[in-house]
Copies of this chain bind each other. A is one copy, B any other.
Amino acid sequence: KHRFWTHVPWGVDSFGCAEWTGCSLADLLKEAGLKPGAKQVIFTGADKGVEGGKVQHFQRSLSVDDALLGHVMLVYRMNGEDLKPAHGAPLRIIVPGWYGMASVKWLTSIEVTEGGWWGHQMEAYSFRRAADDPGRVPLTQLPVRALMAPPGFPDFFSRARVVAPGTHRVVGKVWAGAVGIDRVEFSADHGKTWANATLERKTGLFGWATWHYDWVTPAEGTCILKCRGFDTKGRSQDEPGDDDFNWTGMGDTQPQM
């Protein structure tokens, strides 16, 4: 049922939240002077490759409306240090609250056009049922999502975790873009029952929040742990989704397990 893609060497468990320093894209565009009729802002990064027999720069656009919202940034520092090459030095954009693909690294140009613009990397990052699904929906804002650090230590090949009997504090993060977090729930029985985790404050408008749950293990046996987030807009990580629509595996829509 599921297709597996070879895009990037990480799975569902790779995530981060940094503090960025830079200048507001909206301020820059205002100072540059947008002409009437400006529609799209196109960002081109220095990274390129051959795909479908063509040279493709990593290139994404934002509508002028999105670009002027005020929170998109041209960034040159990360967590108080100069931006490192791996993170897009010397200059990248950050589109907070969106999936990471919108945040173009190693910027070489910013262009404003009157027409529409739909490049290869816009096409690539869409939910859809097939390669040419006309009903595809481009990824934009992040859904709500909680993840946990697995407790205990792993078996070498199966990666099953081993914990001593007793109480274990399971810790994790939850985020929902600019939306507030309502709660995180934790299950130790593969989602049959759920309990509320303890939730800390978000680290900022677009930040994440830390959560924990003190899990009392059974004396022995195998448990399947899950967590799921809910945001203040009523969204849940555990809505009955349409798996087929995520043909490219772009967004995870299930509780972490």
Q: Does A111 have its Cβ within 8 Å of any Cβ on chain B? A: no
- A157 to B7: give the CA distance in the assembly, Å: 9
Question: Closest Cβ of chain B: how far from A178's Cβ, in Å?
Answer: 30
The answer on a CB contact under 8 Å between A50 and B9 is no
Question: Closest Cβ of chain B: how far from A19's Cβ, in Å?
Answer: 17
The answer on a CB contact under 8 Å between B155 and A50 is yes
Question: Closest Cβ of chain B: how far from A51's Cβ, in Å?
Answer: 4
Q: Does A154 have its Cβ within 8 Å of any Cβ on chain B? A: yes
Cβ contacts A2-25/B at 8 Å (1 or 0 each): 000010010000000000000000
The 4 closest A-B pairs by CB, nearest first: A50-B155, A51-B156, A49-B154, A48-B153
Mark out the residues of chain A between 37 and 81 whose CB falls within 8 Å of any chain B CB in the assembled complex. Answer: 47-51, 55
How many residues of A sit at the interface, in one of the four size bands? 10 to 19
The answer on a CB contact under 8 Å between A49 and B6 is no
The interface centre, meaning the residue of A47, A50, A154 with most chain B CB atoms within 10 A of its CB, is A50
Q: Does A34 have its Cβ within 8 Å of any Cβ on chain B? A: no
The answer on a CB contact under 8 Å between A154 and B9 is no
Cβ contacts A86-106/B at 8 Å (1 or 0 each): 000000000000000000000
B48, B51, B155: the one within 8 Å of A49 (CB): B155
- A47 to B162: give the CA distance in the assembly, Å: 13
Contacting residues, chain B, for A155 (C-beta < 8 A): 49-51
The answer on a CB contact under 8 Å between A9 and B6 is no
Binding site for B on A (CB under 8 A): 6, 9, 47-51, 55, 153-157, 162
The answer on a CB contact under 8 Å between B6 and A50 is no
14 A–B contact pairs at CB < 8 A? A6-B157, A9-B9, A47-B153, A48-B153, A49-B154, A49-B156, A50-B153, A50-B154, A50-B156, A50-B162, A51-B155, A51-B156, A55-B153, A55-B162
- A48 to B153: give the CA distance in the assembly, Å: 6
- A156 to B48: give the CA distance in the assembly, Å: 10
- A200 to B83: give the CA distance in the assembly, Å: 28
- A157 to B53: give the CA distance in the assembly, Å: 11
Question: Closest Cβ of chain B: how far from A137's Cβ, in Å?
Answer: 23
- A162 to B6: give the CA distance in the assembly, Å: 20
Q: Which residue of B lies closest to A154 (CB)?
A: B49
Q: Which residue of B lies closest to A9 (CB)?
A: B9
- A55 to B55: give the CA distance in the assembly, Å: 50
- A156 to B47: give the CA distance in the assembly, Å: 12
Contacts A47-B153, A55-B153 given; 15 further ones with Cβ under 8 A? A6-B157, A9-B9, A48-B153, A49-B153, A49-B154, A49-B155, A49-B156, A50-B153, A50-B154, A50-B155, A50-B156, A50-B162, A51-B155, A51-B156, A55-B162
